[in-house]
Structure 1
Amino acid sequence: MALVLIIDDDPSISYTLSRAAQRQGHTVTFARTLHEGKQKSAEQEFAVVFLDVRLPDGNGLTLLPRLKAQTPSPEVIIITGAGEPEDAAKAIADGAWEYIQKSDSIHQITVTLERALRYREKRLSSPQETALPLQRENIVGDSPALRRALATVEQYAASDVNVLITGETGVGKEMFARAIHENSNRRHHPFIVVDCAALPDTLAEGILYGYTKGAFTGAARESTGLVMQADGGTLFLDEVGELSLEVQKKFLRILQEHTVRPIGSTKELHSNFRMIAATNRNLETMAEEGTFRSDLLFRIKALHLPLPSLMERKEDIRLLVNKFIDTLCRQYRIPPKKVDPELLEVLESYNWPGNVRELRHAIDHAVSAARNEPLLFSQHIPQTIRISVAKQRVSQTPVRLAPLPERKEDLPPLSEYRAEGYRRLEEQYLKDLMLLTEGNIKDACAISELSRSRLYALLKEHGVLQSKTPEST
């Protein structure tokens, strides 16, 4: 019989789920919070996990990548309430086996559980081929979110179907496309990139199809188009959402026929390519708005690889930083550098809207700024990042200004309480300000929007400034 984990804070729902499992002879373990669910799922190998979306300490869906990254992974059944279709859709996209509603009958729950267990049994009993190690050059990290993406890469590499890779700017969509190619049977053939954002309507046919000598003015020699260059390999459409409707129509025909006719030629040429496309845009929304062809979307999205943002894989930041430093030091032919712990804290606190690409640029900036120094500090990274983290930290209001008094007589008047609270907040702000700016008065004035004289007065009043502060860096 199987081990079943129920992560839900509602006793009545937990009881219903446990009855469905125990009727079939399964052993049930309970977790009431997200934190407790993380702990218990790591302690034992569960066959099935019932996971509630709304938990007291967070969204249950954040645990899904961690569960699916386990070896062997459990089948995850999501518990949703009425009116939560988006949660159910996201869960299925992230690898959940199925979802049930809290209003479902015990019979419906039992059937879902039986199917999940049968599927898992077949999955684990299927003979596993001895595969070559996954080629993942330049894809650095070991977070659950990244491991899940790499597992999908490995799965898609064994296929020859078109893939759509989606994700925010800077997550590394081209690197993952190359990883699919390098782990496929096409790895010994070309990987051809089409920059869709720079593909004008007037030149698209010549670039994609190629042309013969003399086909038009300026065609001094024959040119092989990108589609034929990709014969036997992979054709990668970077930023496919930027294609005009006219060029989209051309690609639809290319995908349907896998043939092209070079400009000036009467002969159709066949190209055996696999297409991988990437975008940071929502193509479904664009299709509804009429700016992207729905028939083309269906063809390029036979398989879908959504990539996590850097915020979803913060555990990888330190590994990425070390990789970038090592690469850049070798590139610039300078001695290796180490990282101050406080700098890592700043990097892990930033929200990284530009994702991995922005992190690399920040480390490049730091290595260049500290070219002759052996240790990287936060002052070496771009000031915009330091200011953003500083504002984020100093804006976080504490839950309580003071412990709750044991007796009502010990509670001070509101005016005293307010004055003390203001003093503490001001002192904490100044401490954070000077810590994050490393005592740089110019930076501190810019962030706090205080004059130099006012800032010095406040630092003295709160005893924050202990030694002479540098004027600038």
Structure 2
Amino acid sequence: MAKGYRILVVDDDPGVLRLLSIRLKSNGYEVATAQSGEEALSNFAGIRPHLVITDLRMDGMDGMTLFQNLHKQHPTLPVIILTAHGSIPDAVEATQKGVFGFITKPFEAPALLQQVESALRLSGIVEPDTAGKQTNTWRAEIISRSPLMEDVLQRAKLIAPSEASVFIQGESGTGKELLAKAIHNTSRCSKGPFIAVNCGAIPEPLLESELFGHKKGAFTGANQDHEGLFKAADGGTLFLDEIGDMPLALQVKLLRVLQEHQVRPVGYTQDISVNVRIISATHRDLELEMAEGRFREDLYYRLNVVTLSLPSLAQRREDVPVLANHFLHQLARKYEKNLKGFSQEAMEHLVSAQWPGNIRQLYNVIEQVAILSATPIISYDLVQQALRGDAPGLPPFADARRDFERSYLVKLLQITEGNVSRAARLAKRNRTEFYKLLNRHDLNPSLFKQAR
């Protein structure tokens, strides 16, 4: 972890400066020193440290004054206060104001190094080896220091110049649309439009018209011509999110568009040529969907020329501090509040959380604490309350529908004592369809016969 990190050590005692420099350099850190707060401020821009360790008691500008000056311009920069005059009131005051850590002299080297590593890990600093890459404009919206994400982004950049269709697999809330936009930004069609559509959010009767367009009078409510998203994305990229929710009938028409590069709007008798790069995504397991007949195999292989898999937030926990601080500063501007950062305990709690809702859930938690916080530093209690209350009051529609369907089938099998023919008649489904439903939910009718 130490490679490439620069630490500025400030102390008016040359012996302490020398000792700290030896300790830190021997563990792989780059070290710059200053013998006063004034010297540290003067040289700060040239040093650009990732961490500052400063003595509290110094002639002239003391450590807390130095911290306050640095914090105004660099609110996420971690600062560790080192003093021989440490006390509980000093520590409490320092941490409340945003100081990362507080160590008393004489100190043990392991304790200091542990504090340094913790500060660099939890403060949201981008690692030096990847910092230069973060300036790449094509991926500017994707904030990460995770090796897993870096690998995904490097693969994305390699495939972007081709015309191949890209399929993005990832849990809900992992940033699939941001990755699709990044691919578009560095592709040959980057000057064309980027249009995103959630296939699961548009009612089935309207989805065909929304994608392919329609002619005035083609159906009730079609009061004017509509060009559709394929035509609107001509010369650019169309991102089809939640492609796994697309109805089978529409999958056939989408396959034709991909094969022939032509669309036929509803109500038209002629095709219209389009040149669109397709990127699709889903949180579903499309191989399972194909096996159960809900997704066409030929369409899957047409869309899935290249696959990118986004890691969950739990798999890239090193990104939690980076993202949390980024969101906090965004929200501070939005709500016009003086928010500077998180206490060490609060950030540790964020890093260790499960994050089933991934980055979207993290943003919601940070927005809640940003609204409720009455102090510049977000406390542990506030984060704990937000995480405890983040469980959604209502489940997602797909989950609710699945749970209802299973509950309904169980009730039918209980009523009919496992007789599939009777249960299918009650559900007004043919026997073959009903067996498919049972298999989807791993329900064995014979178990309901034994229960009597």
TM range (shorter): 0.5 to 0.7
Match of 1:151 among 150, 154, 158: 154
CA distance in 2, matches of 1:336, 1:199: 38
**1:269-348 counterparts in 2 under 5 A?**
269-348=272-351
CA contact 1:343–1:376 (8 Å) conserved in 2: yes
Cα distance, 1:142 vs structure 2: 1.1
Per-residue deviation, residues 322-370 of structure 1 (Å, max 9, x unmatched): 1011111111122232210000110111111111111111111110110
Cα distance, 1:213 vs structure 2: 2.5
Cα distance, 1:231 vs structure 2: 0.5
CA distance 1:339–1:201, change in 2 (3 Å): closer
Match of 2:173 among 154, 166, 170: 170
Among all aligned residue pairs of Structure 1 and Structure 2, give the percentage whose two residues are the same amino acid. Answer: 42
**1:44-63 counterparts in 2 under 5 A?**
none
CA contact 1:212–1:262 (8 Å) conserved in 2: yes
Q: Which has the higher contact order (CA 8 A, sep 6+)?
A: 2
CA distance in 1, matches of 2:269, 2:388: 61
Q: Do residues 142 (structure 1) and 145 (structure 2) align?
A: yes
3-state SS of 2:197 partner = strand
CA contact 2:327–2:363 (8 Å) conserved in 1: yes
CA distance in 2, matches of 1:307, 1:327: 24
Cα distance, 1:375 vs structure 2: 1.1
Cα distance, 1:385 vs structure 2: 2.5
Match of 1:220 among 205, 219, 223: 223
Count residues with an aligned counterpart: 258
User: AA paired with 1:322?
Assistant: N
Q: Do residues 381 (structure 1) and 363 (structure 2) align?
A: no
CA distance in 2, matches of 1:263, 1:245: 17
Cα distance, 1:220 vs structure 2: 2.1
- What's 1:208 paired with? 211
TM-score (norm 2): 0.54
CA distance in 1, matches of 2:251, 2:384: 40
CA distance 1:162–1:331, change in 2 (3 Å): same
CA distance in 1, matches of 2:218, 2:286: 35
Note the residue ranges of structure 2 that are not aligned, 5 or more in a row.
Answer: 1-27, 29-134, 391-452
3-state SS of 1:222 partner = coil
User: AA paired with 1:378?
Assistant: Y
Per-residue deviation, residues 404-436 of structure 1 (Å, max 9, x unmatched): xxxxxxxxxxxxxxxxxxxxxxxxxxxxxxxxx
CA contact 1:199–1:243 (8 Å) conserved in 2: no
Cα distance, 1:134 vs structure 2: 5.2
User: AA paired with 2:227?
Assistant: T
Q: After TM superposition, which residue ranges in structure 1, 4 or more long, deviate above 4 angstroms?
A: none
User: AA paired with 1:304?
Assistant: T
CA distance in 1, matches of 2:294, 2:246: 9
CA contact 1:134–1:154 (8 Å) conserved in 2: no
Q: Do residues 234 (structure 1) and 237 (structure 2) align?
A: yes
Cα distance, 1:386 vs structure 2: 5.0
CA contact 1:258–1:270 (8 Å) conserved in 2: yes
3-state SS of 1:174 partner = helix
CA distance in 2, matches of 1:246, 1:340: 53
Cα distance, 1:292 vs structure 2: 0.9
Cα distance, 1:302 vs structure 2: 0.2
Note the residue ranges of structure 1 that are not aligned, 5 or more in a row.
Answer: 1-41, 43-131, 389-473
